[in-house]
Amino acid sequence: MSCTTLFEQVLDPDHRADPYPLFAQLRRQPVCRQADGTYVVSTHAEIARLVADPRISSEDLPDPQKFRWTGHPVTDLLVRPIRAEIRRRHQPFIFRDPPDHDRLRGLVMRAFSPERVRGMREETRQLTDELIDAFAEKSRIDLVDDFSYPLPVTVICKLLGVPPEDEPQFQGWATQLSTALEPNQRSDEATQAKNEQCFTEISAFLRDLIAKKRKAPGDDILSDLATGGDGAEDEPERMNDFDLIATAVLLLVAGHETTVNLITNSVLTLLRRPEHWERLARAPEIAPRLIEEMLRFEPPVQYRTRLAVADIPIQGVTIPKGAPVVLLLASGNRDPARFTDPDRFDPDRPDNRHLGFGGGLHYCVGAPLARIEAEVALVALARRLRNPRLVADPPPYRPGASLRGPRHLCLDLDGVTGA
C-alpha cells in the first residue's frame, strides 16, 4: 500500500489501540508525503535530525481556532481580533522558535530547579498512598479517573503554587485545555467555544494569582517567574504577564494528560506481561529503566507537528517550504534500525535513546518530574494492589491520536495492602 493515506488511518480512532503496525508500514518510506501535503517522518535517525534543524519551526502552525461570528460587532471586529493577536504573540514557548523560545524556556528552567523537582517526591508518595488507600473497599476501580488523573494535576499545582482549594477547578481546566494541545484534532465548534471560555477563566484566575505572588512570594515556580526569582545572576529578567500566563497554562497542560497516559499505559503494558509487574513489586529499583522502556514502547506523546520554513532535502525527498511536518516519535521508538527487536518490551535494553520526551530544543522540560511521578506511582501500585486484573483489553481510548491513552482502565482487585 502507498503511504500517502497511512497517516489518515493513524488518526482514525479505530486504530487507536494498536497503531504500531501502521507505523511499520510508514517506515518503509521514512519521509512520506500525505495526500493533504503533510510530510510524515517515521524513522529514528530522520526525526532526530529534524528536531535539530533550523528549517523546522514550531511557530505559525495552522490555527485550530476558526473564526465564528457572534453577531456583536464590537466583539467580532475589535475585542476578539485584539485578543487573538495578543494570544498569537504570546503563544506558550512550546509553540515558539528561538530566540523567544530560548528566553522563556531559560526562565522556566531556572524556576524548575532540580532541588525543587526532587522535593516533590515525598509529596507524590503521600498523595499516591492516599489515592490507593481509597481503593480498600472497592473490588473494581477505574485507574484513569481514580488515580492517574488526580495525581499529576495535584503535583503541578503544588509546584506552581496554586492554593489547594483551587485545585479541583484547575483539574477541570487542565482536562478541557489538553484538547488544545492535540494537533489534527478537528474540534467541533462546541469544543472550541469551551476552550475559549476555559482559557478566559484560567487567565483571569492566573492574573489574580500572579498579583498575589508578587505581593507575597512563596517558594513556588509561579512566584519565581513573577518576581524574577532570587537565583538570577544577571539583570533579573521577568516575563510579562501575557507570557507568564501562557507559560503557567503550558506547564499545567503539558504535564497533565502526558503523565496520566504514562501511568495508565504502564499499568496496561505491565498487566499484559505479569512477570514484569511482579518483578517491579519485588525489585522496585528497576523502575527507572522500566519507565524509560515504557516511554519508548508506549509513548504518551505519539507525534508532534512542525512547519518547514525552507526546503529540506532528506532521504531522497524534499520537504517543501510551507509544508506541515509530522514527527512520528512513537514510530521512531519502534525503528528496527535503532532498536534491536523493537516490538519487544524489554526494560533491560541498553542504550535506550527513545524519543518519548521529544528531542532538540523543545525536549521536555518536565522530564525529571514526570519520571519521579511515574516511578513513585508505579512502584506503589505494583506493591499495593492485590491481584489486579484487566477488565477489558484493549480498554477504550480517548479520541486523540497524539496524546494517546486509555479513557478508562478498569481493574478488578482483591483489595490493597497497607502503605
Nearer to ligand HEM, 389 or 407 (CB): 407
Region binding ligand HEM by CB under 6 A among candidate stretches 30-38, 161-169, 258-266, 375-383:
258-266
Closest separation between CB of residue 417 and ligand HEM, Å?
26
Window 3 to 42, contacts with other proteins (CB under 8 A): none
Window 100 to 119, contacts with ligand HEM (CB under 6 A): 105
120 near ligand HEM, rule: CB under 6 A: no
Among 57, 178, 261, 264, binds other proteins (CB under 8 A): 57
304 near ligand HEM, rule: CB under 6 A: yes
Among 362, 384, 398, 404, binds ligand HEM (CB under 6 A): 362
Among 13, 73, 98, 415, binds other proteins (CB under 8 A): 98
Among 56, 104, 209, 244, binds other proteins (CB under 8 A): 56
Out of ligand HEM, other proteins, none, what residue 258 binds, judged by CB under 5 to 8 A for its kind, is: ligand HEM
Out of other proteins, ligand HEM, none, what residue 325 binds, judged by CB under 5 to 8 A for its kind, is: none
Region binding other proteins by CB under 8 A among candidate stretches 7-15, 48-56, 197-205, 257-265:
48-56
Q: What is the sign, positive or negative, of the torsion defined by CA atoms of 205, 145, 17, 190? A: negative
Work out the burial of residue 291: count CB atoms within 10 Å of its CB; fewer than 13 is exposed, 13-18 middle, 19 or more buried.
buried
Closest separation between CB of residue 399 and ligand HEM, Å?
18
Out of other proteins, ligand HEM, none, what residue 358 binds, judged by CB under 5 to 8 A for its kind, is: ligand HEM
406 near ligand HEM, rule: CB under 6 A: no
Which residues form the interface with ligand HEM (CB under 6 A)?
58, 93-94, 105, 156, 250-251, 254-255, 258-259, 262, 300-301, 304, 356-358, 362, 364-366, 369-370
